[in-house]
Amino acid sequence: MNKLLWLLTGAAAGFVIAHQVNKTPEGRRFFEDVDAKARSFGNAVVDGYKAREAELRSAVSDAEAAIADLTRR
């Protein structure tokens, strides 16, 4: 229970400090940069997921076609 209390205290302190830093122009630029990088990373993950999904769908389609061809023989 004591560790949970320290975790919550640290998280709350982090939010308070981040809020104070965000009030300064330099802090705002810092958080905008972090936000832009996080969004870029998220978009890259989504793009990779969609590309892999397309590859797998193509492979499944090819496998289904091969199975259908074999069952016709």
pTM of the full structure? 0.67
What does each C-alpha distance from 43 to 20, 40, 52, 58 come to in angstroms? 29, 5, 14, 23
Q: Are 36 and 45 in contact (CB under 8 A)?
A: no
13-71 tens-digit pLDDT: 999 999 999 999 999 999 999 999 999 999 999 999 999 999 999 999 999 999 999 99
pLDDT at 73: 78
pLDDT at 34: 97
What does each C-alpha distance from 52 to 2, 40, 42 come to in angstroms? 44, 18, 15
Domain residue ranges in the chain: 25-73
Structure tokens at 31: 């958080």
